[in-house]
Structure 1
């Protein structure tokens, strides 16, 4: 973004994913360290939750309950401010690790899974999106997605946006009154840029972390890229927050893939005021 340079917010992590801002704190999953952190507005740790089966996506329900992915056992966990408990079990509906998710204004959760054994070097396969309703029931709502990753609900709860990492594209769905998905369409062809985590600004434009190029890009419906930030490493995920709601928090891994696999603490979160 012209005239803007990201500033360091906090570092010393292994792989920061799924940042979310809530009530003056930034919440993040440190995936490879099996922890979920909250950081104060000046970047200091204020909470540390142990998630033994690998945290991934996280987000908040309308009442402030924190929902976290427990990827390996394919469950959603909830944190009420004092204790962690199970929110929903997707192990009977999915075969592979859970990934990221979005929450709509009625607290319906839209979540994807890997679709194949990523770490066993299997060929990639398409998979489904599931909806988890507030009663914890699980319903398949879309199929044929290629590694659904970061997602966000926009347009007052009427549209779901999903990053399909390996296809280097962002897809959109209409959400009907019952929470069903329809009218699937291409939001953006990113032309080789592989999107990981995403967020939306007030205009409905999408900020996406591009894992393979180290960029964070702002992309419009139709695919035009208007702004970008570049890191020397892997760009992972992002969210908007801060006191103004216009501070873009960006998580990145500032090292090689080999160092990432070794668990080196080279992941950090940066910010830029837009």
Structure 2
């Protein structure tokens, strides 16, 4: 398996890669530099947009635009103009929080998490954007939320408690209610911290490892079946893309790395890619609450 750096942009906190079939491009963010990025692998073209605040994710919506998770709430983002429009404020009673990771489930609902920007308080929560445009809490609270991710049928959700080094699985019903919480995977000290998850076409869960130099693939039963090593320590999230859905893209982070670490990881913060033997799920646009 050959892992290559596709874009040496040296992101402080690259995150949230998502493949958009409507323009055959990968979108992702640099949270700490308030930036959105678009990468077209067919032409190797790159474009960047400035965000008005820290941006945890940008996901395609059925109106042809995107929903961006900015520091204080959900915004509509129009790539034609670069404009952001506030849709709803999130966690107004927790001023130290920001939005972090997000995903669209197989039913077209947006799920996302918040976190303590200082990474200490258990003030983060998971939410779903419902049909009426309101965000409602789902799941548990912790300092750093990541995910969730969902099985191909949408009946199982995977929620990451990064600082506790644990990934939890839930049963998910048609109304987005969660039940049957169970431990899906735990990471011993020294393996890194579980970061953004994604699911492939076989229902296996891929988990990026922050300070873990790679990613791990788990069966739906929680059995480790594959490990991929990257040349940088802080791997934040994976996304399947390309026309055949067999290219795996990985965002990474250069934040908190000192001069010695950066000298040994000159590509830290880059966008990486490799070819996989399996396909990723077809990305779904946000259909509800927009």
Matched, 1:267 2:259: no
**Aligned counterpart, 1:102:** 103
1:131/1:33 CA distance change after superposition, 3 Å: same
Q: Distance in 1 between matches of 2:86 and 2:214?
A: 35
1:158/1:194 CA distance change after superposition, 3 Å: same
Once the two structures are TM-superposed, the CA of residue 238 in structure 1 deviates from its matched residue by: 0.9
Q: What secondary structure sits across from 1:157 in the alignment? A: coil
Once the two structures are TM-superposed, the CA of residue 9 in structure 1 deviates from its matched residue by: 1.1
- Listed as ranges, the matches of 1:44-63 within 5 Å are 44-63=44-63
Provide the alpha-carbon RMSD of the alignment. 2.6
Q: Distance in 1 between matches of 2:233 and 2:209?
A: 10
Once the two structures are TM-superposed, the CA of residue 133 in structure 1 deviates from its matched residue by: 1.4
Q: Is the 8 A contact 1:110 1:132 kept in 2?
A: yes
Q: Is the 8 A contact 2:233 2:268 kept in 1?
A: no
Q: Is the 8 A contact 2:100 2:146 kept in 1?
A: yes
Higher RCO (CA 8 Å, separation ≥ 6 residues): 2
**Aligned counterpart, 1:243:** 243
Once the two structures are TM-superposed, the CA of residue 84 in structure 1 deviates from its matched residue by: 2.7
Show CA shifts across 1:103-162 (max 9, x none): 223432222211x4526xxx4426432222143212122224452113222232222212
Matched, 1:149 2:146: yes
The gaps in structure 1 that reach 5 residues or longer are none
Runs of 4+ in 1 over 6 A off after TM superposition: none
Q: Is the 8 A contact 1:237 1:251 kept in 2?
A: yes
Q: Distance in 2 between matches of 1:187 and 1:165?
A: 13
- Listed as ranges, the matches of 1:20-35 within 5 Å are 20-23=18-21, 24-35=24-35
Q: Is the 8 A contact 1:200 1:207 kept in 2?
A: yes
**Aligned counterpart, 1:84:** 84
Give the helix-richer structure, 1 or 2.
1
Matched, 1:209 2:215: no
Once the two structures are TM-superposed, the CA of residue 185 in structure 1 deviates from its matched residue by: 1.6
1:146/1:203 CA distance change after superposition, 3 Å: farther
Once the two structures are TM-superposed, the CA of residue 32 in structure 1 deviates from its matched residue by: 2.3
Q: Is the 8 A contact 1:104 1:157 kept in 2?
A: yes
Q: Is the 8 A contact 1:62 1:107 kept in 2?
A: no
**Aligned counterpart, 2:286:** none
1:158/1:87 CA distance change after superposition, 3 Å: farther
The gaps in structure 2 that reach 5 residues or longer are 277-290
Q: Is the 8 A contact 2:106 2:152 kept in 1?
A: no
Once the two structures are TM-superposed, the CA of residue 211 in structure 1 deviates from its matched residue by: 0.3
- Listed as ranges, the matches of 1:104-253 within 5 Å are 104-114=105-115, 116-118=116-118, 123-125=120-122, 127-145=124-142, 147-192=144-189, 193-230=192-229, 231-253=231-253
Q: Distance in 2 between matches of 1:237 and 1:110?
A: 16
Q: Is the 8 A contact 1:217 1:229 kept in 2?
A: yes
Once the two structures are TM-superposed, the CA of residue 243 in structure 1 deviates from its matched residue by: 1.4
**Aligned counterpart, 1:12:** 9
Once the two structures are TM-superposed, the CA of residue 44 in structure 1 deviates from its matched residue by: 3.5
